[in-house]
Chains A and B, each alone.
Chain A
């Protein structure tokens, strides 16, 4: 039980730290002093203390969406192990459960955005739905690769078994990690797919769906965003840790640094994609995860023969 609690605590630390690392990296690269490391937490704390304002064109759908969004993300969050630790929740097939919890949270937000009746939010919802649908195969195939290697279908079992994996699979695991990092870029609305800093309603994807949320609802959406980031970065870090050093004290800092620094660097050194090119970008990742799955399958077959 203690291990499970340690696991959850580590996950929370990862979730809270990634945004801070991104901001520090960006500030460093821009030659700025930058905002405090915990600024994003202060902002959310402020929002949590506030009530919410609702447009009178919205319905109950809009009000429950933040709860569903956060709730689904939170449950998914509890299934993820940090390297050799055990997650709080686990059952056979939970990788599918997690994938669909994430899809559920996205659906809740899309419906809420459509519920506002705003033309911007409608456009944002359409974009989010398209990208969500496109990125899902990548997520599924990357998870399938992990399941294939270990012969299990829950995160806890997969990573419990992972230590015994053959070193021949190193390259595949690194590629799986890469796929998860990119999926996180897409899911969390980061450059090059989206730009969380923009004030331009017409170019937004994730942010525009949250335009009507305020106060505590907005805080819930932010927190859910952190949790989702943590899910993907921990999985990516686990995949890398399998190769090098499969311990929680290695995987947790790695999760923070790999995603935090890579997002910070990408957001400083390149422009975001033209919106129509995002589809190509996401499909490239889908193709890559298909390749990963195929290579993984071939390697497994060879070993058995």
Chain B
């Protein structure tokens, strides 16, 4: 029997498209039907791209036990018959199949929730607009619908939330997104200017600028056959963990705000400011923009910057630990967060949850551990933080523990670090491997980020696909609030803090 998959890893270079097996859809379907019952597998990306006379589907599957990445492709003959939906058996495929249906009209037979994903401007059915989103409906004298958004109070991105409630209790929540769609994926291939591409990557999700740019940089370096210097890898590692600390602290503060707990709120706001100002002292931008560049960096660490980072981070770590210890004993806080917004492990696995939300439900999804790259593969032996309850408190304590863990990582990485002059300036003109597929997996603070690129005969980017962890985890939020009081939706939302623009692209 023919091999269904090409096996590679998150640390390997780009692969030739010709080396990726092209298989029959039914074979792949039958294999995945069995294979995905194993919890070690989860899908990182599954997308369609135009070829000369039709479409080609690429699948990137991760094996968390072995660290293998499985690549496969299909040229479907869907014009004559629909494809059997994998979502019907394994719900974690739902956003990918919905996207392919939306963009190319591939009919997935038996898909239980075939609805527009993000109203991409190049969607197939232009008649389908946000105003006609087919919300799920329930009938009943006692039920009422509450629509929140797409425009929200405060500084929240746009997105529509439709609740069906029985009194105060939420029976169903449906989340309709797409308001932030900017066409990021097509902008990436419209230009050959790699600096411009880098800047686009930085703006995929403003709160994960470092993580997304790292994914872009890793991907291009693999296409260019460039192996990043150990020092550069170390500095990228520090940048990524700094971003994680800043965002986790910000979200701790946001959770405190939503339960009107002023003391934690102001404490966390102050600490977050120190952290992002440290990032600014390093690269000139509080959110780490301009920090990461392909094949080099414009902001190599210096002795004095290392001192600043170590001093600030150890200070933040100490003070945050006090907040953490107090929070674990504050009854009024525990009363709000414990046993609220439960996502059981089984559910989290079935919907393909990733990142810190999955780890809070006891599902180990951490690219740093299962598919390490760069500094994570060489030096850090990362032990992920996991919690078992899957409630708001678990998600909060995962964040709190990860802040302390990241602070220790940063301190260890910088303790004996003597910056050499080996780090180069970025190179935006390196030649790419032609007709290749390159992907990169990065564990941002929110979870697994996956970038995939296909190159053409001249080595130019022909297709660029981005996956933010929010794509998977929005459904986890919808599940978390089921049967909760509607007034607890905000704390559930904050406990995930998902990205709208990361989803909408």
Chain A contact residues, CB within 8 Å of chain B: 26, 29-32, 119-120, 122-123, 126, 191-192, 195, 197-203, 267-277
Contact = CB atoms under 8 A, between A and B. Distances in A.
B263 A268 contact: yes
A267 B262 contact: yes
Interface in B135-191: 144-148, 153-154, 167-168
B266 A277 contact: no
A163 B38 CA distance: 79
Nearest to A269: B263
A273 to B, nearest CB: 8
B490 A30 contact: no
Nearest to A203: B487
26 contacts: A26-B262, A29-B262, A30-B262, A30-B266, A31-B266, A119-B147, A123-B146, A123-B486, A199-B153, A199-B154, A200-B490, A201-B148, A202-B486, A203-B490, A267-B262, A269-B263, A270-B261, A271-B261, A271-B335, A272-B261, A273-B335, A274-B335, A274-B340, A274-B488, A275-B168, A277-B335
A32 B147 contact: no
B487 A202 contact: yes
Contact of A198 (B258, B486, B488): B258
Interface in B455-505: 485-490
A257 B266 CA distance: 24
Contacts, number: 79
A268 B262 contact: yes
Interface of B: 144-148, 153-154, 167-168, 256, 258-263, 266, 330, 332-333, 335-336, 340, 485-490
A273 B263 CA distance: 16
A270 B330 CA distance: 8
Nearest to B333: A271
Contacts of A197: 260
A123 to B, nearest CB: 7
Contacts of B144: 119, 122
Given A119-B147, A272-B261, A275-B168, 20 more contacts: A32-B266, A119-B144, A123-B168, A195-B260, A197-B260, A199-B154, A200-B153, A202-B146, A202-B489, A203-B487, A269-B263, A270-B332, A271-B256, A271-B332, A271-B333, A271-B335, A274-B488, A275-B485, A276-B168, A277-B335
B62 to A, nearest CB: 36
A30 B485 contact: no
Nearest to A198: B260
A265 to B, nearest CB: 10
Given A122-B144, A269-B263, A274-B488, A201 B153 contact: yes
Contacts of A269: 262-263
Given A119-B144, A274-B488, A276-B168, A200 B332 contact: no
B323 to A, nearest CB: 14
A119 B488 contact: no
B259 to A, nearest CB: 4
A63 B186 CA distance: 51
B489 to A, nearest CB: 5
